[in-house]
Amino acid sequence: MKAESKAFSIAPADRLAEVSEYYFSRKLKEVAAMNAKGMDVISLAIGSPDMPPSPETIETLCQEARKPTAHGYQPTVGIPELRQAMAGFYRRWYGVELDPGSEIQPLIGSKEGILHVTLAFVNPGDEVLVPNPGYPTYTSLSKLLGAKVVNYDLLPQNQWQPDFDALERMDLSRVKLLWTNYPNMPTGAKARRETYERLVDFALRHGIVVVNDNPYSFILNEGERLSILQVPQAKECCIEFNSMSKSHNMPGWRVGMLATNPQFVQWVLKVKSNIDSGTFRALQLAAATAYDNTDLWHRQSNIETYARRRRYAEEIMQVLGCHYDPEQTGMFLWGRIPDIYNNVEELTERVLHEARVFITPGFIFGTGGNRYIRISLCQKDDKFAEALKRIKGLEVRGQKLEVRG
């Protein structure tokens, strides 16, 4: 006897109601559909370096990948050569001494680190302090894991640095983590020694772990490169992420690291070892090679290129009537939109659909970004020139846009 057919029905986990699809995941589908129609959208939205890693890095990968012994499982802690290279990188550029065997954990990028640190330190219902505006993944992963997100505001009048008086007035009794990110994304605010010192003091007094996400030290940041771990006692209460995606032109390689005290490393490793295995050995050895890139490579492959593109981005901001801080650093330009717009998408959607240029609306970084746009510097010069030309042809409320001095 044939069983009666019933419609199959299943509901997703409740946690999915806490988050939306990542903005870029959703928006890139729309851009792809526009391109499929021949619209040739120029993306100035995503911070994915478009230049290659150093030739030595690629050569190491190729050589090591040809070895028949290179393809087995690797230790979750990372191979010694990579951990030693990471320690050398911190010694060379930040003046921070790290024990490669106990104070470093390689990561498959910082997003993975956000997941693992949250799992290692935060119970469902605990609170985490997240900057507003800030990287959306701090919020989304916290929500997925059952943490309560408490925003702390970064304001332009404070040069996008934390307001410590406001932090002290908060109820901190259930706070486990504070997320911070300098040089800052999306605002371009520079890292400050004073900010790091105050964060360490705040963490020690309140029993909170501060996690500093530090991937932008090498992008248009020619002054002293700062790490929160330079501050005395920082290792006791702080974790720092660093990523090769931006600094070494390796976004698709998925190599990052965290540095902190041995106990924190072991707690994160307990989580990580139950989720994944170590990265491909040839890739780890190639990453170790990249950490030895010369000062000249960093200047020619990153600093000079981004400085040239930054001038295009500034002119686009001026054409759109946006105001920006010329002192900001990093691989983006952050600017406030004119008051004639009701909201930021009124501007970015028009730029997308009429000029065919994709620019990021600041609301995706929190309410603090509601009146801002972000332009990525990860696009070729000729594309920037074309984007500028298209945007100059736009009209706003019946009037041609003009460059504002």
Nearest to 277 by CA among 116, 118, 72: 72
Is residue 175 predicted with pLDDT exceeding 90?
A: yes
**pLDDT at 294 > cutoff 70:** yes
Q: What percent of the chain has pLDDT over 90?
A: 81
pTM: 0.91
Q: Does the pLDDT at position 359 exceed 70?
A: yes
Tell me the three state secondary structure of residue 103: coil
Residue 265 has pLDDT above 90, yes or no: yes
Q: What is the pLDDT of residue 405?
A: 35
Strand runs (DSSP E) across 282-376, as ranges?
A: 323-324, 332-336, 357-358, 360-361, 372-376
Q: Is the pLDDT of residue 403 over 70?
A: no
Give the pLDDT of residue 320: 95
Per-residue b/e over 2-19, b at no fewer than 16 CB within 10 Å?
eeeeeeeeeeeeeeeeee
Mean pLDDT of 181-188: 95
Q: State the pLDDT at residue 77.
A: 94
Q: Which residues in the chain are classed under CATH 3.40.640.10?
A: 72-292
pLDDT band at 4 (very low <50, low <70, confident <90, very high): low
Q: Are 367 and 139 in contact (CB under 8 A)?
A: no
CA–CA separation, 194 vs 284, rounded Å? 35
**What is the distance between the terminal CA atoms of the chain, rounded to a whole angstrom?**
81
pLDDT number for residue 395: 63
Asked if residue 186 has pLDDT above 90, the reply is: yes
Sequence-distant (≥ 6) Cβ neighbours of residue 387 within 8 angstroms: 42, 44, 312, 316, 355, 357, 379
Nearest residue to 302 (alpha-carbon basis) of 222, 194, 365, 238: 222
pLDDT digits (tens, 9 = 90+) for 12-21: 888 888 777 7
Helices (H) and strands (E) in the chain, counts: 15, 15
pLDDT for 115? 94
Chain region(s) in the chain for CATH 3.90.1150.10: 14-52+296-392
pLDDT given at position 397: 45
Mean pLDDT of all residues in the chain? Answer: 92
**What's the pLDDT band for 23 if we cut at 50, 70, 90?**
confident
Pairwise CA distance, residues 74 & 281, whole Å: 7
The predicted pLDDT at position 394 comes to 83
pLDDT, position 2: 61
Q: Give tens-digit pLDDT for 307-343.
A: 999 999 999 999 999 999 999 999 999 999 999 999 9
- Confidence tier at 278 by pLDDT (50, 70, 90): confident
Class of domain 72-292: alpha beta
Q: Residues 32-76: pLDDT tens digits?
A: 999 999 999 999 998 899 999 999 999 999 999 999 999 999 999
Amino acid identity, position 302: N
| Fold (topology level) of 14-52+296-392 | Aspartate Aminotransferase, domain 1 (3.90.1150)
